[in-house]
Amino acid sequence: MRQSKLFTKTIKQAPKDETSFNAKTLIKAGFIDKSSAGIYSFLPLGLRVHNKICDIVREEMNAIGGQEILMPALTPKKAWQKTDRWDSFDVLFKVIGNNKREYALGATHEEIVTPLVQKHIFSYKELPVYIYQIQTKFRDELRAKAGLIRGREFSMKDLYSFHVDKKDLDKFYEITKDAYFKIFNRCGLSEITYLTYSSGGDFSKYSHEFQTLAENGEDTIYICDDCKIAINQEIIDEQKVCPNCKNKDLRKEKSIEVGNIFKLGTRFSNAFDFFYTNKKGQKHDIEMGCYGIGPSRIVGTIVEVYHDNKGIIWPESVAPYQVHLLDLEAKKTSEDIYNKLLKNEVEVFYDDQDDKSAGEKFADADLIGIPYRLVVSKKTLEQNSVEFKKRDKQETKLVKIEKIVEELGGNK
Amino acid sequence: MRQSKLFTKTIKQAPKDETSFNAKTLIKAGFIDKSSAGIYSFLPLGLRVHNKICDIVREEMNAIGGQEILMPALTPKKAWQKTDRWDSFDVLFKVIGNNKREYALGATHEEIVTPLVQKHIFSYKELPVYIYQIQTKFRDELRAKAGLIRGREFSMKDLYSFHVDKKDLDKFYEITKDAYFKIFNRCGLSEITYLTYSSGGDFSKYSHEFQTLAENGEDTIYICDDCKIAINQEIIDEQKVCPNCKNKDLRKEKSIEVGNIFKLGTRFSNAFDFFYTNKKGQKHDIEMGCYGIGPSRIVGTIVEVYHDNKGIIWPESVAPYQVHLLDLEAKKTSEDIYNKLLKNEVEVFYDDQDDKSAGEKFADADLIGIPYRLVVSKKTLEQNSVEFKKRDKQETKLVKIEKIVEELGGNK
């Protein structure tokens, strides 16, 4: 992509009413736009990051047998009444349409997926099934001050599992834990992300969250460094020791919740009279689990944890492009290198702008945070080279023009 | 994909309150689920079709320089007040959140994209730009009886273009016409789709629709067969002859609107005080165009026009899978063929169900409508072959097992 063609620019000043680091930085770097409090547009660079995260999530959900669907955002009142959540779910946006039809904007989709699966599953032979979607969710948060971390509109992968019994649910629950760590690993977050014991809400004693350490995090967790698991502050009074090794020496940290998984039991299947027929021909309860992860929230989390005072430092796996090529008045060679990188299927963002100074281009590159920076200038061309720098390192080196593709390949 | 693993089944009876052919058929075939009137979920098979159409649309938008973004569904009241559409846009779903914050659910996005682009574009040097998204739209239609053709929640690709003057807008407007016909061609609809003159609404004398012939269509058009263009009934009183050749002999047909393009002029840029600076340093009007196409509506349209009394007949380009492999008690060979097709990257849907009769499998295959059907049975194996049939043809033939991949390749 040529930067001269990209319609977004880096912006000097984020909106005054934006207080979160992630949103301020992403707005300045041209990744997102603020539409209203807690509601953002993804611009071309931001959408690329978001879609890469969605692709990682999708691959790992497919790998454990997830079947992707897409449910609506407008969900009927009567479904929420069946589960007694129409009045009790406090962040539901409610919509009244023509002829007094009432809907909730989907904040979660148990009320939709349960009767949907019920139309297709009747027998033990057809279970278990794992159904997921990646979709826009809506929650009328009272405070929406954390940028992409807690928006009123955000993306969510929500997986729902349906089982013949608790044992089968337990087995799959452990499989999803592994899948979630694979996702966080691929997004560059696994080393600072902890499986965290949390309140089970209406459903069970505990649920599990995945909490990523971050100075500006809204959550507080207590970490057992021996087991690499944590306890959410909300249950620390009832669970004061590591649930695994009983360690009392827990480390308190601020964090961001990047995923959560719940055993729902029969809470929703029973509400919809959804049963299956077992081997003996008897009606039997269906056990459910639900598993959430927010791709847009992960975008914000990565910015909160991977940055320096100049801008974002994207992990390669989710970076909008792999290489930022800067032309400093050496257009002919820069164009050749750009075309060569394209031909070699390197994802390259090319600063071909003629009306920007070298200083502006360097500042843009640091702010935008693409992993590899290549600078082409008269000085580098004297040695038939380009200047090569990783975004997360200070050192630069010269790389011969004919060795660029190889150098990039060797670094991936 | 193994049919035994797919959680959806074909369904004997569509919901009684569903009157449209496309939704009834897609529900019975397991492509969609009805959540409430005009609101559907895409199930795995349906989502595959929908995503293939989205990919075609995306490729053609990128090919003409479109830059993809993703705007929110919750759009602030004040933006709609700026353009005087808060009260006048009759199908807006309105949402009142906490602290009396008011939103409209995005029914179209001029109110969002215009101030967004305004933050990044200042000079003639930066124009034109073409910005699009593929996103869920919401319209509170009084009648939602046409299935995916007119839903209350549906997918839309909406492209917005920004130009220095009318001449540049006119030029790009013609480019989008070509791109739209490429899209309909790739979706198998171009031969029965007509560029149709329609009312320009508030914006200009005419807009243009793309209307696909269909018995159950909600629209009526008058076709000039010489020019292959049409006139929408809504303007036939003012435009009684072909706008191109003045032909009076127009053929009246029922049709479905599958796309529309508008010249917006300065209606929205002026409302947001969005101007650019021209070469002389003067403030100048920005001309806008908008270009819509509905992927979910195209799914429904294809079903309306490509079917027989047994089920759907998908064009290859958008079919959920290319090959439907039916095992009729020849499991070992069927498995081998399935694995071989997967290895050769053929998109194969494999009916490996043990508890279904041959008749049920044939009926499913016809209903689901995958382009190529391969049947493996003891009888075909006697000749070391499988039975090969195209969904849209009556004839069957035997194809030697070792020639299957070649045969499929030769048919694509």
Q: Which two tokens stand for residue A196?
A: 């965290």
| Rounded average pLDDT over A70-91 | 97
Distance CA A257, CA A196 (A): 9
The tens digit of pLDDT for each residue in A391-402 reads 999 999 999 999
| Rounded average pLDDT over A289-317 | 98
Q: Measured between beta carbons, which residues in chain B are less than 8 angstroms from residue A37?
A: 101
Distance CA A24, CA A13 (A): 8
CB atoms within 10 A of CB B199: 16
DSSP annotation of B121 reads -
User: Kind and range of the H or E element at A268?
Assistant: helix A267-271
The tens digit of pLDDT for each residue in A212-221 reads 999 999 999 9
Task: Tell me which residue has tokens 């990051």.
Answer: A49
Distance CA B347, CA B336 (A): 15
| Rounded average pLDDT over B107-116 | 98
From B9, B75, B117, residue closest to A120, measured CB to CB: B9
The tens digit of pLDDT for each residue in B173-203 reads 999 999 999 999 999 999 999 999 999 877 6
pLDDT at position B412: 46
The tens digit of pLDDT for each residue in B164-178 reads 999 999 999 999 999
| Rounded average pLDDT over A46-52 | 98
Q: What integer best gives the mean pLDDT of chain A?
A: 96
> Chain B within 8 Å of A62 (Cβ-Cβ)?
no
Closest residue of chain B to A33, computed from CA coordinates: B116
Q: Helical H runs in A328-389?
A: 331-343, 358-368, 378-382
Q: Measured between beta carbons, which residues in chain B are less than 8 angstroms from residue A105?
A: 74, 95, 105
Q: How many residues comprise chain A? A: 412
Contacts of residue B29, defined as CB under 8 A and 6 or more positions apart, other chains included, come to: B10, B45, B311, B312, B367, B368, B369
> For residues A104 and A80, is the Cβ–Cβ distance under 8 A?
yes
Percent of chain A with pLDDT over 90: 94
Q: Measured between beta carbons, which residues in chain A are less than 8 angstroms from residue B9?
A: 120
Task: Tell me which residue has tokens 């967004």.
Answer: B116
| Rounded average pLDDT over A343-368 | 97
B411 has a pLDDT exceeding 50: no
> For residues A184 and A210, is the Cβ–Cβ distance under 8 A?
yes
> Chain A within 8 Å of B39 (Cβ-Cβ)?
yes
Closest residue of chain B to A72, computed from CA coordinates: B41
Q: Which of A135, A53, A21 is nearest to A319 (CA)?
A: A53
Q: What integer best gives the mean pLDDT of chain B?
A: 96
Closest residue of chain B to A162, computed from CA coordinates: B7
> Torsions phi, psi of B67, nearest 5?
-115, 125
Contacts of residue B10, defined as CB under 8 A and 6 or more positions apart, other chains included, come to: B28, B29, B30, B363, B364, B367, B368
Distance CA B325, CA B307 (A): 20
Q: What is the ipTM, given to two decimal places?
A: 0.97
- Which of A124-138, B235-249, B266-280, B386-400 has the weakest average pLDDT? B235-249
CB contact under 8 A, A119 and B39: no
Q: How remote is the C-alpha of A185 from its chain's centroid? A: 12
Burial A40-60 (b: 16+ CB within 10 A, else e): bbbbbbbbbbbbbbbebbbeb
Q: Is the pTM higher than 0.95? A: yes
B315 has a pLDDT exceeding 50: yes
Distance CA B307, CA B215 (A): 12
Task: Tell me how close the Cα of A73 comes to any Cα of chain B, in angstroms.
Answer: 8
> For residues B27 and B33, is the Cβ–Cβ distance under 8 A?
yes
Contacts of residue A198, defined as CB under 8 A and 6 or more positions apart, other chains included, come to: A206, A207, A208, A209, A232, A234, A235, A260
3-state secondary structure of B393: coil
A residues 63..122 contacting B (CB < 8 A):
65, 67-76, 93-95, 97-99, 101, 103, 105, 112, 116-117, 119-121
Strands A39-42 and A32-36: antiparallel
CB atoms within 10 A of CB A234: 15
Distance CA A321, CA A238 (A): 46
The tens digit of pLDDT for each residue in B360-400 reads 999 999 999 999 999 999 999 999 999 999 999 999 999 99
From B74, B94, B121, residue closest to A138, measured CB to CB: B74
Q: For chain B, which domains are there? A: 21-308 (3.30.930.10), 321-410 (3.40.50.800)
CB-defined contacts A:B, below 8 A: 137
**pLDDT class for A412, splitting at 50, 70, 90?**
very low
From B33, B116, B120, residue closest to A119, measured CB to CB: B33
Q: Which of A299, A325, A401, A304 is nearest to A48 (CA)?
A: A299
Q: Which two tokens stand for residue B299?
A: 């799914």
Q: Which of B67, B298, B57 is nearest to B160 (CA)?
A: B67
3-state secondary structure of B133: strand
Distance CA B9, CA A135 (A): 23
Q: Measured between beta carbons, which residues in chain B are less than 8 angstroms from residue A30?
A: 120
B403 has a pLDDT exceeding 80: yes
pLDDT at position A201: 76
**pLDDT class for A410, splitting at 50, 70, 90?**
low
Distance CA B160, CA B131 (A): 5
pLDDT at position A143: 87
Task: Tell me which residue has tokens 């290859």.
Answer: B316
